[in-house]
Amino acid sequence: MKLSKLKKRLFVMAKNTVIICLVISFLITGCTSILSSDKKQREEFGENWMVIHTDKGEDTINKNIYGHFSEHLGRCIYDGIWIGEDSEIPNTRGIRNDVVEALRRIKIPVLRWPGGCFADEYHWKDGIGPREQRPGMINTHWGMVKETNAFGTHEFLDLCEQLECEAYVAGNVGSGTVEEMQDWVEYMTSDTDSEMANLRRMNGRDKPWRVKYFGVGNENWGCGGNMSPEYYADLYNRFQTYVRSYSGNRIVKIACGPGSENYPWMTTVMERSHRRMNAISLHHYVRGTGNWTKKGSATQFGESDWFALMKNTLTIYPLLEGNIEIMDQFDPRGRIGLFVDEWGTWWDTESGTNPSFLYQQNTLRDAVSAGIFLNAFNNYCDRVKMANIAQTVNVLQAMILTEGGKMIVTPTYHVFEMYTVHHDATMLPFELECSNYQFEDEEIPSIDVSASKDASGKIHLTLCNLNPTKSAELVCELQGTRPSSVTGRVLTADTLNAHNTFDKPEAVRPDAFDKFDFEDNILTATLPPKSVVLLGIE
């Protein structure tokens, strides 16, 4: 990595030791702060210190970091989004109004579809035309249930228009053909007098859609074909050739990147294909103390599982660093975006539900994990240009749960709502020295942070206190500004496993936060245990 980039990453991500802070102060000339004060003064003010350089922001936090992912899996699409025009549940052209309204409240910027593993067995022509004439298929990845294809290309792009968000379509490399992918792009985006454009018109859509993002395959190292990275890279080079930009539509081509620490995959695909991609994906799921066969309950757990999830979630930092270092080797100018287009927590399915439908509850623990993930994406926004949490409704770490005509939002939904202040804001670099959260013979940092400045000049901090039993007294120096007012909100609860249910839909929700004070450019705040805190500074 070039020295300038090393400085930048250290500058943003310094954590937990005085040594790191001193190294940063040395590397970044002209940086003076209370963190460089003598030991006695630091002890006087406490063990949690932060310096935010409010006048040194350079990189924009792309709002697409707050993107979402919907797959033909369980009840995500059917029941969760699509109910059909004849449903008694209020809908617009078959799409649930309550779900659309809830997603619009968190300013959903981009939605990925149709998968996931489903994408590489999906043949798009089965999902167009009169619904009563569409052929069905068996969803071999997710429960061997019948897929009716009632929700297809037109329905998905209608959903994106209702949400006013960008469409991210994942193409079929695993079981599809080059011609099939070429035709799909032409069908959606071409305004020419061509066979595919005329087929779209015949199916009721005269004007082409604007489809900005197109993924060439999904998890092709696994469910998308069990390919070697060399083989996939060669396929990507071939398939992407025919993903064309028609009629003024400019497509961002996304290559299939690795799952978690599969650095050889990232290296090979970048080496062979970097000149032909605009972005590359990364997938990362986390859990508690269980394994991938027995992951543990989403709601029945103690502090050992809480600690394990916090520790596992923090692996996103070295994971981003490792993959970005590889990208820097082949793309030193940073042209290619890193899209973390699947991420989140993964637990055992709820009792009494189809285990292949991946329906799980969502607690305060998931919300704090989401806050850490989003802080990390913000802090690496010079490379991370999109992220898509899995999944939007009724699957994995969902924003929304539905039950017939009922709908509730989850604690994770509230984190996304609180973090909307970071959309397209300028990321502010910082230094953080904090105490550790210790459990038994292990310890991790107790505080995780990101900071930004919006177009109006307002500064926002999002802070996660990972410790579920101890509050954190934080002293923050705002270099380059003196606040005149501060406001706050907090998401927390009395118990580790607090969650919303259809009987108690607001058991976990944000509240006003006022446990802070400020004088000159020094802000102090008391972060409650197991919490996500938002501070707005003007």
pLDDT digits (tens, 9 = 90+) for 140-154: 999 999 999 999 999
- Residue 290 is predicted with a pLDDT of 85
- Residue 433 is predicted with a pLDDT of 96
The domains located in the chain, with CATH, are 46-59+427-537 (2.60.40.1180), 63-424 (3.20.20.80)
Q: What percent of the chain has pLDDT over 70?
A: 92
- Asked if residue 23 has pLDDT above 60, the reply is no
- The 10s digit of each residue's pLDDT in 479-497 is 999 999 999 999 999 999 9
- Residue 34 is predicted with a pLDDT of 43
Residue 161 annotated as catalytic: no
- Asked if residue 28 has pLDDT above 90, the reply is no
Query: Has this prediction a pTM greater than 0.85?
Result: yes
Instruction: Report d(CA 350, CA 410) in Å as an integer.
Output: 15
Residue 219 annotated as catalytic: yes
Instruction: Report d(CA 254, CA 277) in Å as an integer.
Output: 6
Helices within 352-398 (DSSP H only):
364-379
- The mean of the pLDDT values for the chain is 93
- Asked if residue 8 has pLDDT above 60, the reply is no
For Cα atoms 416, 421, 422, give the angle at the middle one, nearest 5 degrees. Answer: 85
- Per residue, the 3-state secondary structure of 428-486, as one string, reads CCEEEECCEEEECCEEEECEEEEEEECCCCCEEEEEEECCCCCCEEEEEEEECCCCCCE
- Asked if residue 19 has pLDDT above 90, the reply is no
Q: Span 172-198, mean pLDDT? A: 98
- Residue 44 is predicted with a pLDDT of 56
- The 10s digit of each residue's pLDDT in 270-279 is 999 999 999 9
- Asked if residue 29 has pLDDT above 50, the reply is no
Among 219, 431, 433, 477, which one carries the catalytic annotation? 219
Q: What percent of the chain has pLDDT over 90?
A: 91
Among 342, 417, 431, 433, which one carries the catalytic annotation? 342
Band of residue 57 on the pLDDT scale cut at 50, 70, 90 = very high
- Residue 43 is predicted with a pLDDT of 56
Q: pLDDT: is 507 or 43 the higher one?
A: 507
Closest alpha carbon to 66 in 459, 364, 386: 386
Instruction: Report d(CA 165, CA 169) in Å as an integer.
Output: 13
Pairing between β-strand 137-139 and β-strand 436-439 as defined by DSSP bridges = unpaired
- Residue 45 is predicted with a pLDDT of 57
Q: pLDDT: is 123 or 30 the higher one?
A: 123
- Asked if residue 445 has pLDDT above 80, the reply is yes
